[in-house]
Structure 1
């Protein structure tokens, strides 16, 4: 299967109380996905389901999670969740983008 390659960086800015982060390094890793995450993001943004920042977090999180789920579908926890994930993805794909 052809894979798109991504580099993901997460930098902790502040804690829940608004205090500056005490983490000195960002979390950085490579991730692969069968879908182009930027195209998924564009689709989610067109649906106007959530605001732009939430669309970014949702799209990236969904595709990273989904790829791990698919690559490890024999793990009992993932296997049990797979039908609900497939149903969710079908519902998302039916979300007609808003026309401008």
Structure 2
């Protein structure tokens, strides 16, 4: 399957007490069959959440769903897959 390639980078800027954190960032590359930037735009247009939350939700969901898709026969997803399919149908049906 052809995939778009992405580099994901995350950096912790504060701890739970609001104190600055000096830690190396985490970066990795991953493929996804969807245009993740387009998915983010669609989520922002829905106005379900604020901009940061919509962006985090869209990216997190796409990362998770691609792992699940690529490992669909893994026993870890066996019980979860039917609920996830229903969730995605509901998400896609709401304009």
TM-score norm. by structure 1 comes to 0.90
The aligned residue for residue 80 of structure 1 is 79
Look up the SS of the partner of 1:31 in the other structure.
strand
For structure 2, the 5+ residue unaligned runs are none
1:14 aligns with 2:14: yes
Distance in 1 (alpha carbons) for counterparts of 2:60 and 2:8: 11
Structure 1 residue 88, shift from structure 2 partner: 0.8
2:3 aligned with 1:3, yes or no?
Answer: yes
The 3-state SS of whatever aligns with 2:5 is strand
Corresponding residue for 1:42?
Answer: 41
Residue 79 of structure 1 and its aligned partner are, at CA, apart by: 2.0
Question: What does the per-residue CA deviation read over 1:51-86, in whole Å, with 9 as the maximum and x for residues that have no partner?
Answer: 101011001000000000111111112122111111
Provide the aligned C-alpha RMSD in A: 0.9
More relative contact order in 1 or in 2 (CA 8 Å, sep 6+)?
A: 1
2:29 alignment partner, SS class: strand
